[in-house]
């Protein structure tokens, strides 16, 4: 996992993207790890599935250690496109994990293998089709509305999957870390008895909003140093 993102959750990274004006690119809701609590962060290794495992094997020949195989199976729910052999081979190629816009199978074996796999869920049926490859088969992958490639990083945890441009990784991770520190302090203060309303001067915000309806809570948080919402 890239060092800057080792201890950062996807919500923190998403908030950092908002703070920096980096376009938000998240996989559709519902993609989760096969084993709860697993996390991934690495360079996107893209592949588009057309019904045969050979595209994965070919993608692995291009893998660098720590890459994450991002599989575009068009979000299909009528077939599982990866199973235990594809995941074992990923481990042999040094791939850190897989993110599937679609389904997996062989769940007990995947749990035993331990390589993080994120998907919509499991289905026993494998592909019964063989579609034509395209020029983009090994150069990019679509995940929901977003097209990603090797210029992107992918981060995944129990909250979902995010894509971040690799050339913005340092800025995003540093901002996410600052937000994390602020939120931890806020949480500690709540546990100590100081409410979030007190910490954020919420009464002051309400009074200022009454005088200026255009005054937003996000603007107020920026002024007082809060971190919730972004």
Can you tell me the distance from the alpha carbon of 23 to that of 57, in angstroms, rounded to the nearest whole number?
32
Residue segments in the chain with a per-residue pLDDT below the cut of 70: 1-4, 225-230
Residue from 203, 135, 138, 162 nearest 10 by CA = 162
Residue from 151, 155, 116, 121 nearest 15 by CA = 155
C-alpha torsion 210→213→214→218, nearest 10: 50
Can you tell me the distance from the alpha carbon of 203 to that of 75, in angstroms, rounded to the nearest whole number?
46
Handedness of CA 82, 84, 88, 89 (dihedral sign): negative
User: What pLDDT, on the 0 to 100 scale, is given for residue 6?
Assistant: 77
pTM tops 0.85, yes or no: yes
User: What pLDDT, on the 0 to 100 scale, is given for residue 230?
Assistant: 46
User: What pLDDT, on the 0 to 100 scale, is given for residue 3?
Assistant: 61
Residue 154 Cα to chain centre, angstroms:
6
Cβ 169 vs Cβ 65: under 8 Å: no
Mind listing the pLDDT tens digit for each residue in 89-112? 999 999 999 999 999 999 999 999
Can you tell me the distance from the alpha carbon of 3 to that of 6, in angstroms, rounded to the nearest whole number?
5
Give long-range contacts, CB 8 A cutoff, 24+ apart: 211-218. Answer: none
Write down the residue that tokens 């090994």 correspond to.
138
Give the relative orientation of helices 217-224 and 202-211 as an angle to the nearest 10 degrees: 130
User: How many Cα atoms sit within 13 Å of 145 on the Cβ side?
Assistant: 6
Q: What is the CATH number of domain 3-167?
A: 3.50.30.40
- Beta-ladder partners of 143: 146
Cβ 39 vs Cβ 1: under 8 Å: yes
Domain assignments of the chain as residue spans, ordered by start = 3-167, 172-224
User: What pLDDT, on the 0 to 100 scale, is given for residue 44?
Assistant: 98
Query: From residue 146, how far is each of 36, 62, 152 by CA, in Å?
Result: 25, 22, 11
């Amino acid at each position: 996992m890239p060092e800057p993102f080792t201890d950062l959750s996807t919500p923190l990274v998403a908030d950092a993207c908002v703070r920096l004006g980096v376009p938000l690119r998240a996989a559709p809701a519902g993609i989760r790890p096969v084993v709860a609590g697993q996390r991934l962060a690495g360079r996107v290794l893209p592949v588009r599935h057309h019904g045969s495992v050979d595209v994965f094997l070919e993608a692995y020949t291009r893998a660098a250690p720590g890459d994450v195989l991002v599989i575009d199976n068009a979000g299909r729910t009528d077939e599982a496109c990866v199973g235990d052999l594809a995941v074992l081979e990923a481990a042999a190629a040094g791939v850190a994990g897989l993110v599937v816009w679609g389904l997996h199978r062989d769940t007990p074996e995947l749990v035993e293998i331990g390589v993080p796999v994120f998907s919509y869920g499991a289905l026993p049926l494998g592909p019964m089709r063989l579609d034509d490859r395209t020029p983009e088969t090994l150069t990019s992958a679509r995940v929901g509305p977003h097209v990603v490639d090797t210029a992107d990083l992918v981060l995944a945890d129990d909250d979902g999957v995010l894509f971040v441009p690799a050339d913005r990784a340092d800025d995003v991770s540093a901002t996410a870390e600052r937000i994390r520190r602020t939120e931890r302090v806020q949480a500690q203060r709540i546990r100590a008895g100081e409410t979030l309303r007190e910490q954020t001067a919420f009464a002051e915000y309400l009074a200022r909003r009454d005088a200026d309806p255009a005054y937003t809570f996000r603007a107020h948080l920026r002024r007082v140093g809060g971190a919730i919402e972004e």
